[in-house]
Structure 1
Amino acid sequence: MKPFIYLAVLLGGCASAQAVEYTDVNRTASQISFTYQQLGQSVYGTFGDFEGTLSFDTQKPEAGHALLKIQLASIDAGSPDANDELQRASWFDTATYPVGVYESTAVTPLGGNRFKISGNLTIKGATRQVEVDVVLKEQGGIGVFDGKFILKRSDFKIGEGEWAGNSVVSDGIDIKFKMVAPQR
């Protein structure tokens, strides 16, 4: 039911004739969302409280870096009961692990303003390498970094006990994000 994150973070860039740098993430215009299957039905949710830092030059995308910190208690999985359940130890254990963190370690340009961002995602004290597909859309002085990846909740012990496995909630959680950054 949730994943965080993640995830997630955005760095992408494009090779334009002139170098364009992005450094500040506009939290108000940015979004982290997720979808998962619960008892065969698609469920949508978001994380409302996160902060990101970005250092990205379209002429040197390989040198890019992103850091995303998500307040896991800010999850909105569609109902107050679900949101409360996700705070518990068997899910995010937000009393012990309040923040999910994604930090990039490498940016690989794929052409056409597409990038593969490799990095480390840490949730509930577990760190796993995650690769994120990102597309950079440049719109009038603003860069919009759209990304997605699939989070396996079993990798982070999210949904333990009766919630483990795929019988009630899918192990694979689709994470999508839109990070908006003005040109520097």
Structure 2
Amino acid sequence: MDRTIDSFMELESTKPLSEKSNTTNTISLLSDFPLSTMDELKAIEKKIKHDATFRSQLIEALHITAEGDSIQKRVNSMLRIVFNDNAASLFNWKGQRGVKQKLQGRRISKLTIETMIKTFPKMTESIFGRKAGPWLAQASFRLEKKNKRNNTSNEKENEKEPDISSGEETSVASSDASKTDN
């Protein structure tokens, strides 16, 4: 169904208060995400195991929040919601090769698969694993890229301006200027 922004806004303004509170509930449910440590993951998994209401509300919140028309885009979106790259870099789907831990079979992965089934009824654990594997594998590279970007911006911030008070120039630009004078 194709809606314009105006019709969407009109629809939102006519929603009952109970539906508007669902949006607030979704935001508060997802406030603990993305997970960044194993301790956070263990706490969420424990909560999923012992609190059926939380579990069903989390499935609904992820379903509403995840984006993408294709299976791959939706899996990536959901994994981005659930894990930051620090946590994702600790896992691969099957736990094979190296020191990474297995994500397959964990409560959080079962929950994300269940959420995917709401959009893609033929979703299976195998399909999800094939789509999640590459995203998990790239987490370390995304972290590296982010760290390089942060280091580059920090270096630029740390370049010193000429120290006018002492008459000394300590910036990179001043050494470059002296090279052109020669």
TM-score category (smaller protein): under 0.3
Query: Which structure is higher in RCO with an 8 Å CA cutoff and minimum separation 6?
Result: 1
* TM score, norm. by length of structure 2: 0.21
Hey, which of these two has a bigger chunk of helix by percent?
2
TM-score (norm 1): 0.21
**Bigger strand fraction:** 1
